[in-house]
Amino acid sequence: MAEHTLQAETNAEPAHREPTDRGHVGRSRRGLLGLATGAAAFAAVMKSASAQPVRVKGDVDPSALLEKLVDRITFGATPEELTLARQLGYQGYLEYQLNHLAINDTALDTRIAALTTLNMTYPQLEPQTFGFVRNELTEATILRATFSKRQLFERMVELWTDHFNIDIVTVQYYKTADDRDVIRPNALGTFANLLNASARSPAMLYYLNNDVSTSANPNENYARELMELHTLGVDGGYTQTDVRQVALCLTGWTIWKGASTGVLEGTFRYNNTNHNQTAKTVLNTAIPTNGGQQDGITVLNLLINHPSTARFIATKMCRHFLGYDVARSIIDQVAATYTSSGGDIKAMLRVVLRPEHIAAATPKIKRPFHMFVAALRQTAATVTSTASMRTRLNEAGHLPFSWLTPDGYPDKASHWAGNLIARWNYGASLVNGTTGSISGLAVNDVAFYTGATTADQMIARIDDRLFGNRMDPDDRERIRQFLLPSPPTTTRRREAIGLALSCPSYQWY
């Protein structure tokens, strides 16, 4: 099988790119897709298996394309994941990740079994210390992103968590239930099920004040964000009148509160007494009088089936995986799939993640959570506690569930580019000394460098593990120099890993 090395971009449809995102691709002489991979290992894998290498226009190197897919749909490619992907081939691996419930995740499940608040009901959570509950949910989120084999699933949980943002300090215990009952069951399901669950989520209703919205005193907050942020998008074609009318439709959508409600406490309640029963019009659709809860159901269906929602969701999914400025034609294909499949998230992902789309994907900055998790995955770090990591995530401005406003953590390079010290110090401290100085996290450099004894071998190992052999050559050379004289000392070889985590090319994927 021929290996192709590209000098520059593929012949695939050129993706638009923000000027500021040239960081990685623009500088690398080898670009993201072309490379001469090391090896025997690669050749051996490719000889095995029935995996047909995927080819795209322009003869993009199939193995590089596969690695790029892995990079985009996981929180960081690992040797195990790449081996699996090569065995299964592009389509096989994609289907494997989409079929997430069939992936055996017992190792991860064992890890988080001790976090007992995750499965508690509201009455059980309420007497807990909030900080404890919050820490368990955050720790679970970190552990899942790091160790779950269901990586595409976890990347979608990330997307939907931001899309349906809820600030945990506001809603406290409700968010544990929202993560468990709204986001996770539906992250790879249908958008309709996801939206319907969210609209009945005590966390969401409380966060956006719908729980206190009544016919006498309607509150428009949820109604507005439901359209602006969750479905149609700000230019999706709704009016201020629609916002008011939707708010009236959703009056009575509230929460059972108070210990006297027993096992119902903290669950969704439709309270018809507070519902506005007048006739209404939403998005040019007449809603009759005395509609009760059906009013809200009608609204949700209107939004789910609206073409602006198809486009808005398609845009979010494309941006998440393919870059900051995805070609209109790709978004349109995904939006069409939304409509034709009934909002089937997997069907949409099959379109988003087509080989030619991945080939055209442009660099994205790793947000701090992603970068911190990728570092753990790719150094095969052991994690015994995430407490110190959570502190650092907070300093980096990306502690899970801590974004104040409903728009969620931004997915823009400009937002995240302003705090490098948090990344540099995470890298430096992770490997500092012989045991690292981030308590609860440990990198075993002996295992990392097995078989590599010289500076050249070690930089090759770093390139392979952290960059899939696509490390920027300037970063690579500089860190190779840091490893000199050869053979490197323990200090230097450990710190070289930290420098690699700190370097410009590691901040992108």
Partner 1 sequence: MSDDIHDQNTCGASGCREYQQLSRRSFVQASTGVVAFLAAHQWVPRVAYAQSHRGGMRDVIVSVYLRGAADAMSMCAPYFENDYYTKRPTIAVARPDSTDPNRLTALDSRFGIPPAMMGLHQAYLDGKLLFVHACGSTDPSRSHFEAQRFMEVGKPRDLSISTGWLGRHLDSVDVMVPGSALRGVAISSGMPQQLVGGPNTLPISNLDTFGIQGSTSTLSARRSSISDMYNLTTDPLKATAASTLQTITVLDAINFAGYAPANGATYPTSTLGTQLKSAAALIRAQVGVEAIAVDVGGWDTHENQAPVTGSMSTLMSTLATSIGAFYRDVIAGGGPNVTIVVMSEFGRRLQENGSRGTDHGHGTAMMVIGQCVLGGRVLTNWPGLAPANLFEGIDLAVTIDYRDILTEIVAQRAGNTQLSTVFPDFTPTPRGVFAC
Angle at 507 between CA 505 and CA 509, to 5 degrees: 80
16 in contact with partner 1 (CB under 8 A):
no
Give percent helix, percent strand, percent coil of the chain, each to the nearest 5: 60, 5, 40
Regarding 415 and contact with partner 1 (CB under 8 A), the answer is: yes
Per CB under 8 A, 388 contacts partner 1: no
* Residue 437 binds partner 1, judged by CB under 8 A: yes
In the bound complex, what is the minimum distance in angstroms from residue 325's beta carbon to partner 1?
Answer: 15
Most distant CA pair in the chain: distance in Å? 81
Tell whether residue 361 is a contact of partner 1 (CB under 8 A). Answer: no
Distances (CA, A) of 350 to 327, 344, 411: 17, 10, 22
| Contact with partner 1 (CB under 8 A) among 185, 433, 447, 490 | 433
CA separation for the pair 137, 194 (Å, rounded): 20
Is residue 399 involved in binding partner 1 (CB under 8 A)?
A: yes
| Shortest separation between residue 203's beta carbon and partner 1, angstroms | 11
Given candidates 72, 150, 398, 470, which one binds partner 1 under the rule CB under 8 A?
398
Of 87, 170, 315, 457, the one binding partner 1 (CB under 8 A) is 170
- Which of these, 221, 283, 284, lies nearest to 251 by C-alpha position? 221
Q: Does 422 bind partner 1 (CB under 8 A)?
A: yes
DSSP states of 234-279 as a string? Answer: TTSS--HHHHHHHHHHTTTEEE--SGGGGGGTTSEEE-GGG---S-
Exactly one of 102, 262, 418, 485 binds partner 1 (CB under 8 A); which one? Answer: 418
List the x/- string, 199-238, binding to partner 1 by CB under 8 A: -------x-xx-xx--------x-----------------
Site for partner 1 in 471-490 (CB under 8 A): 472, 474-475, 478-479, 481-482
Does residue 20 touch partner 1 according to CB under 8 A? yes
Q: Which is nearer to partner 1, 263 or 420 (CB)?
A: 420
Asked if residue 46 lies in contact with residue 38, where contact means CB atoms within 8 angstroms, the answer is no
389 interacts with partner 1 by CB under 8 A? no
Determine, following the binding rule CB under 8 A, whether residue 498 of this chain makes contact with partner 1. yes
Q: Specify the stretch interacting with partner 1 by CB under 8 A; choose among 9-17, 284-292, 316-324, 432-440.
A: 432-440
424 binds partner 1 (CB under 8 A): yes
Residue closer to partner 1, measured from CB, 292 or 504: 504
55 binds partner 1 (CB under 8 A): no
Backbone angles phi, psi at 116, to 5 degrees: -70, -20
d(CA 406, CA 375): 29
Of residues 99-158, those binding partner 1 (CB under 8 A): 129-131, 134
Closer to partner 1 by Cβ: residue 160 or 403: 403
Q: Which are the contacts of 175, defined by CB distance < 8 A and separation ≥ 6?
A: 137, 166, 168, 203, 401
Cβ–Cβ < 8 Å for 334, 349:
no
At a CB cut-off of 8 Å and minimum separation 6, what does 82 contact? 67, 70, 468
Specify burial of residue 188 (Cβ count, 10 A radius: 0-12, 13-18, 19+). buried
291 binding partner 1? (CB under 8 A)? no
List C-alpha distances in Å: 99 to 70, 92, 94. 15, 10, 9
Return the structure tokens found at 265: 């406490």
Residue choice 257, 261, 278, 444 for contact with partner 1 (CB under 8 A): 257
Interface segment toward partner 1; rule CB under 8 A; list 43-51, 66-74, 87-95, 413-421 = 413-421
Rg value, the chain, Cα:
24
Using CB under 8 A, count the residues that bind partner 1: 69
Applying CB under 8 A, the residues found at the interface with partner 1 are 20, 22-23, 26-27, 129-131, 134, 169-170, 172, 206, 208-209, 211-212, 221, 257-258, 390-391, 394-399, 402-407, 409, 413-415, 417-422, 424-425, 428-429, 431-433, 437, 472, 474-475, 478-479, 481-482, 491-492, 495, 498-499, 502-505, 507
